[in-house]
Amino acid sequence: MKTCILGMSDIYGGAAIASYRVHQGLLKAGVDSRMIVGYRGLQDPRIEQAPMPGWLNRKAEVVARNLGVKFTTIQSTKRIAAMPAFRDADAVNLHNLHGRWFNYLALPKLLANKPAVFTLHDMWWFTDGEYYDPRFEAKPEGYPPGTWEYRLKKSVISKLDATFACPSRWLTEIARKSFLGQRAEVHHAPLGLDLSLFKPLDREQCRRELKVPEGKTVLMAMAETLSDPRKGIDLLVAALKELPGEVRARCVLMLAGHNATVATKDTDIEKIDLGYLKEEHDKCRAFSAADVVIFPTRMDNLPLVVLEGMACGTPAVSFRVGGVPEMVRPGQTGFLAKPEDSKDLCARIVEAVNCPTLATTMRHECRRVCEAEFSSERESRQYRDLFEAGIERKKRGER
């Protein structure tokens, strides 16, 4: 079987990393997988750069954006059909397409003869442009906003032979209530990690290499861009200010991601800034050195930071939002605070720091859950099954 994974990037952002891991897992499972991306960052010979719009097309896109129909004037997308990686594929897996490199109106022609599996990393495909839209979650039956973008997406989906895969049960249920669920099958397909790479490393050695002060409890915060409002670093800063003095004195905040200094400038807790971590070994070393991962997200699907930390045996403290509770199970793999409540987040951090089983039972449970539910092998099997079902459906002439 030959497959083509189409997405915005191969490395920049959680969705891009997840798509590349699907690619790697499929190769290990014996599938001839290739990727076409809008923004290439890896030197993998199986990844190709998608055709990009010229300067005149970029100017037209500015106009389209102002009219509320962004990404619809890009002409270079149609050239993807002639690329061997796409042309020869038996099935296509689409990840984040919402960017200034891809025109989603081209999909009916591109996918006219190919079954497709859309991996949803957010709510964009069934909203009027929001990646996460609380209006839809609150009242899906009264959603459609009537905007042109929403209508165009609905029209595109109606013309496709497509299946949808969602990493979290939370997003799966929401997508099933949208027009996607009225038109196609929506499956729950959890993310998977290569657990031979993401695994607990020698904790003391990692702490020495990262120059962690002896005897300190390490609170780790990680995101691609820590200043991203959705990642909630302001809520973490507010929570840290509420920490009792004796707890704050025992802790050090280890930061990984862009803009860490700016995002945490209003807290006086001791810090270690690792910068943006691109290599998986560097991530594993940081997770293994940490006592707990603090992930104060306002809304997320199935965040990789939490999952990667758990694979390395590190429990998490987060909010009870989105798909986070599917990984962070109170008292077993971490602690959950009330959404948007920095005081409750502070209380959960204190609970974690003082938890007698944090470094023993909970670390083992984190690893066990990843092995049972979030392995790359499990993810690859599920995607292969979805591809094969789509190919068989095409052969029978069904939609």
pLDDT for 189-202, tens place per residue?
999 999 999 999 99
pLDDT for 319-328, tens place per residue?
999 999 999 9
User: Predicted confidence band at 61 (pLDDT cuts at 50, 70, 90)?
Assistant: confident
Q: What domains lie within the chain, and their CATH numbers?
A: 2-192+375-395 (3.40.50.2000), 203-373 (3.40.50.2000)
For residue 117, what pLDDT is reported?
98
Examine the pLDDT at 241 and tell me if it is beyond 80: yes
> In angstroms, rounded to a whole number, what is the distance separating the alpha carbons of residues 72 and 100?
9
| Residue bearing the bigger pLDDT, 393 or 323 | 323
The full DSSP string for 338-386 is -TT-HHHHHHHHHHHHT-TTTTTHHHHHHHHHHHHH-BHHHHHHHHHHH
pLDDT for 121-171, tens place per residue?
999 999 999 999 998 988 888 888 889 999 999 999 999 989 999 999 999
Examine the pLDDT at 69 and tell me if it is beyond 60: yes
